[in-house]
Amino acid sequence: MIDQIDCQIVEILKANSRTSLAEVGKEIGLSGPAVGERLRNLQERGYISGFGAQIDLRSFGYTIQALVRIKPRSGQLHIVEQMLEQQPRFMSCDRVTGDDCYVARLVLRDVAELDEILLPFHDRAETHTSIVKSTIIENRLPPLTPTS
């Protein structure tokens, strides 16, 4: 069970995971140690699976992102999945319903790398690529509500 205070803790830490427990406590009306106990409980119960830094990919030279829809040819599904897992430029990949089996997000330093990265897939899958112009919503939490 998660209550409204737990939801507030999660929302504050999602916005900035470096917020101190004392700061979180001030914002929601609890002591730092009480927030720490609730946080440990949320982690133990699987509501929070980890903490991380938000990275500016442009500062590392990755100026382009692409969405790639992938439809493996007959009998190639598992091989294509392994290829996706082994290519580190794919930042995420979802198995989906519909005409394609996968939708993946690919990061590039420039558009010329696209052929280099996707060429090995062409014998085993059909790909359709869209270049991301801008991101409107990034990793937003849905509204959190207490559970019973």
- Judge if 62 and 97 occupy the same domain: yes
What tens digit of pLDDT does each residue of 66-123 get? 999 999 999 999 999 999 999 999 999 999 999 999 999 999 999 999 999 999 999 9
d(CA 51, CA 13): 9
Whether pLDDT at 139 is above 90: no
DSSP-derived secondary structure for the chain: ---HHHHHHHHHHHH-TT--HHHHHHHHT--HHHHHHHHHHHHHTTS---------GGGGT--EEEEEEEEEPTT-HHHHHHHHHH-TTEEEEEE-SSS-SEEEEEEESSTTHHHHHHGGGTTTEEEEEEE----S--SPPPPP----
Residue 84 lies in a domain: yes
Compute the chain's Rg from CA coordinates: 20
Residue 51: per-residue pLDDT: 87
Structural domains counted in the chain: 2
Q: Which domain holds residue 40?
A: 4-44
pLDDT at 53: 85
Instruction: Answer yes or no: do 39 and 69 share one domain.
Output: no
In this predicted model, what pLDDT tens digit does every residue of 25-48 receive, in sequence order?
999 999 999 999 999 999 999 999
Confidence of residue 6 (pLDDT cuts 50, 70, 90): very high
Q: Are residues 120 and 97 in the same domain?
A: yes
| Res 57: pLDDT | 96
Does the residue 139 lie in any domain? no
Q: Are residues 88 and 37 in the same domain?
A: no
pLDDT at 127: 98
Does 126 have pLDDT greater than 80? yes
